[in-house]
Structure 1
Amino acid sequence: MKALRSWRFWIVIPAAIILLGYMSAPFWLSAAGGWLVDAEPPTPADVVVVLAGDRTGSRILRAAELVKQGYAPLVLVSGPYGMYGHSEDELAIELAVANGYPRSFFVGVPHVSHSTREEAGYLIAELRKRGAMRVLLVTTNFHTGRAKSVYTELGKGLDIRFVSAPDPFFSPENWWRNREGRKIFFFEVTKRLADAFGI
């Protein structure tokens, strides 16, 4: 009888834990998605900076809208080389112009970088050269947390606010429901770990 009770215990308890984990999954998966996001509302600034790495154009369009709304006079557009013979800033600016924003809103900052940290080195140097102290930095929602960590470390003395642009495949509340959202989460967590270990 005692052995039977023991057997039931080792079946029922793990089953209950698995069931509880499954039923609470939306809560802790949403919390995990929210952990990636560290965005702030925009305030008046000297310049808007839009980071590279956007596949959909949401970053450049969000930045352009901030200038249109009067938050800053222009957008510095990060532009690593290597996009089919173009720098990314060229392609991003063309997309914004095609969407009705004046070309005068934008200044391209072409460079060669392979990470958010390398990109930050170029962009912070450009900001200091221009004497821009108050900055609205626009990146995709899932990238705001990691960008904030890097730019807070490297951009000492600058007042940088991190403004998010939406991503069609990633919502912190339900990112796990589509394959692209799961990939974005996995890669972003991997990059955070790489940053933590200096890889």
Structure 2
Amino acid sequence: MGEKTEKLLSILKLQPVVPVLIVDDVKSGVLLARALVAGGLKAIEITMRTPAALDTVRAVAQEVEGAEVGAGTILDAKQWDAAIAAGSKFVVSPGATQELLDAASASPVPLLPGAATASEVMALREEGYKVLKFFPAEQAGGAAYLKALSSPLAGTLFCPTGGISLKNANDYLSLPNVICVGGSWVAPKELVAAGDWGGITKLASEAAALKA
């Protein structure tokens, strides 16, 4: 587990913000990934919420130089296997089940599992996980909640995701137990629809300049 933790940390430490993307077609997904990488956001999470998601992970892994692409919203072992086969460098889940943890333990690819309570964090620590996704961050108590966990659950690092924007990102990034945040604001639907890749690169540059 130690080696996988280091692998995951090396990806998450690339930048203070990991883009969390919902993609509708492969072509725009590749162009979007290129725009984000150009702005300094190399680690990219593509969520498995659309029919095009898996093919987009595969295309980004093969075609976008500098990208560290991960698959998000992975819920079970079948989805895990598909994500790994598509070339995911890391996998993100909103929570954790034993089935998913078993699939992850048999793979060299690191998992960033989600947790929202102290008990969930403790259960994942028992499984060897030291780096977790705090989800849904704002709805589960926000930066104040996560700060309260930092002392009793020392040694656990988080990537908060859910309701995070440029406006409140620093509230999380200033916490000692936060390594980065996940956010969708760097890829607004209207800019993607308009093909405004320059605008997305600008948003990515602003996000990359935040202090983790």
Same fold (TM over 0.5): no
State TM-score, norm by structure 1: 0.31
**Structure ranking higher in helix proportion:** 1
